[in-house]
Structure 1
Amino acid sequence: MNKEELKQKIISDSDKAEAYISDWEVVGIDDVCDLIDQLDEHVEELSQEWIDEHLCHEDEYDFDYIDPDDLKQLFLLKPEKPFVPQFVADYITDNKEAGYTLQQVFYYIHTDYKQGEINEYVEWVSTNEESFARAWLNGFLIEDDIEVWQPITGFYNEVSNLGRVRSVKHKAGNGKIYKSKILKPVVTNSGYVNVAIINKSEGNITKRLHRVVAEAFIPNPENKPEINHIDGNKENNEVSNLEWVTSKENKRHAWENDLQVSVKGSEKPLAKLKEEDIASIRKEYREGCIQMELAEKYGVARQTISSIVNMKAWKHVAEEVSE
């Protein structure tokens, strides 16, 4: 029995009730059909069994109906999609496209397992047979796509590991009650993403989305001050794309990945000198040390020393630092 046949049966069984529906606390036939439309194909037989079990009959007017409280349970027949690893999702998709059935796949899996030919697919399916079957029949969600929400301390907001922010239902100072909703972030001219969140005492505050995500999900035991976008995309604020870094680590990552950031001095990956060395070189030069001696001492070319003492290189090291 498919959906349309099931709907027609319900309609047929309810024809006699049409004249009395408005006088009874029963569920209208259109609502029942809408519910049926939401059920997956492979549970339709089960839904029919459920209807047969819960169908009530009114003797005086001779019609069938379903109690509203009972009908709510029909939603429970709709199966949930299990979470599976990406390689299992690919395995299911590939086998379905190849025309294999679930029974055939289980046969091959069990055969490989018995013969000791165990790979990641065989191992996972052998220990998660029920989840695999449900994923094959009902569809699946990939584990990496699981969205987890954390409260933002001090705010009427929550942030997810996928980089989304929502407000939570709360009562404002004026007594108005605000419902929960997903917030729309704003991409700034610098490419970073901002989001306006609601501080419980100060009202709306705009913050960088990547910082909100990192503070909620990523431990920072070394108290590093900056957050790096691992793939270089400032709009990708999923927790898997973020990491706490020092300023030097952040600039080094940008330099190594050609992200067009101006890196100076010791922050350059191939730098041989540090800012402290520059101060010493300039001081020693003023005190009479010649450039060749300084080059040998610090392991650089004489031309490098010349550029340093003549303020053509390492200009960001302030003159007063050299004093």
Structure 2
Amino acid sequence: MNAERLEHLKKHIHLLDIDVENGLILNRKPYLRPKGYYLVGLKNKIFRVHEIIAVSGGLNILNKTVNHIDGNRLNNRISNLEAVSKEENFRHAFENDLLAKGSKIGISKLTEKQVIEIKRLLNETNLSTAKIGKMFNVSGNTISAIKHNRTWSHVGNKIINKETNYKKKLTETEVKKIKQLLSENTITQSEIAKMFGVTVPNISSIKNGKSWTHVN
């Protein structure tokens, strides 16, 4: 935001009843532009709601752009906003497949329900980000951003870092217990995996006789 607009906003921002945490202007009715941003009027000037939230939340946006971290332009919570350069904003949009396309210009392509399912797949399977991306008609970069909690971090479970959390080697005693639990069929493979600090595919491999076949 340039200096003139920022000065105007700071001068009159006291007229607004702002819920910074939830990203809301309580005493104005914002309207939604086709590009996916909420706007409000303030003393003969129009401002994007996320810009107002950013300033009210203490972000320095002079000559900077306010970026939505999760890619959702309707999520104006202060925790979802950051002040970046135009170049950084464009790179974020490019890496997360958020550049304007067709009739859904400016609006995130994924729903929260889809993101929850994507996180489940990332946590419980060995599918590549590219394959998961094809399943949801988004790029592998979009899935990678979710995987590393750069976007949609407020939705669903955190992604487990498999490289650091799944280096544990099972013992024969543990495998016997796993096989017992599988035969009892009282808890899911995902729950068993969490109990023993391994992946679901590890448990599935044991169940299907692809590994630890010498242990009964």
Same fold (TM over 0.5): no
TM-score under structure 1 length normalisation: 0.26
TM-score under structure 2 length normalisation: 0.38
The structure whose residues are more often strand, as a share, is: 1
Question: Which of these two proteins has the greater Rg computed from alpha carbons?
Answer: 1
Q: Which has the higher contact order (CA 8 A, sep 6+)?
A: 2
